[in-house]
Structure 1
């Protein structure tokens, strides 16, 4: 039974303190389609990208309280690329529980986005604001540098002529009430992790493989502990039975 001591010291390491919320959407990657090169080309929208190679993105998302015009809050757009056609994926948004926010995630195919007037208007508005913000930040960084070219360098990543891609739209609605007037009038940006997670054999998220491994390890230890306990109790019962039999003989 002494081997159980390291086990009991090891088990607390398997637990993790959860201080975050998660929202997700699950989808099948579409078939590859030709990527249009005319304006507005996806490469020119300046959206942050996720792919199986770069699957985690830490960023800030703007949020707002729901209104009649924006019942789901403020929207942000991302671009999912290099997907494996027909494979199941999920996109998760993880954020701190100290920033109560309601997120809504939806995916849109390239044709439906470029051909839909409302979607295209939404993504163009977001793109313009993002590009202006990036340009302003670059100008501020270069303000003290003489002779520095303030133009944005060309993108180091361009789309293939044909690819399995999707647009991802995330709505963020503030989900709290406070007596702090400033926080009620100006919702701070929410720090989030946006994660693209492929499914193995279209049934099991790849990120859960380590968790499944820990479950197998814990189950194995539990089986060993149970076997030792059963053996120990069986030995105690047998010794009690033998002692009881000897006591009856002495009488």
Structure 2
């Protein structure tokens, strides 16, 4: 499943799922562009390390995914892309009546609208090349819901709908568009929550993971960023030429219930 000669842009990718996807794509031979809203020396150093570790070209481009012009500018600055992974996302939890308007707007902008803008910017180049892959990182919450996550659930359901629409508009053009729907993934952000949950519930690490954090995930195991990245690589490969407009759940059985 070599991707040598392909350029991949991964939004929100200086940590977590996005970084895992970037590394797995680089392992498969793709040149990668990683992204976040910061512009620190360590961001550029991270890209350089990925490139050196895997023998590919890797660059970092700062862009604020809450801004349409930055989203489209990211694709332009990258020189277009063969593979687009829309991963950028944020979360906020609150009852609907108390949900801050600015949080709703930010979540919709970063989790949903950014994917619209980057995809719109990337598709002309993919069409010209006669080949392209758009992989949207949705969520189990793109297929089901939880209370107090109205903006996140709405955005992720929107990503699933956008995925289907892009797939239909590009069918037969050598371009595919699919969504990955992870359950709980062991990212640094999730890892940081474990000690607090242990204190709140007076449980040891393994019990709080199994009985509290993974209560809705029947496998009682986190997915890993490497597993999500591996799914991105598969969807970008020739083996997935006829997979388009669909969702792939990596959720330990969550949405099977």
TM-score above 0.5, yes or no: no
Q: Which has the higher strand share?
A: 1
Higher relative contact order (CA 8 A, sep 6+): 1
TM range, normalised to the smaller chain? under 0.3
TM-score by length of 1: 0.24
TM-score by length of 2: 0.24
Q: Which has the higher helix share?
A: 2
Larger radius of gyration: 1
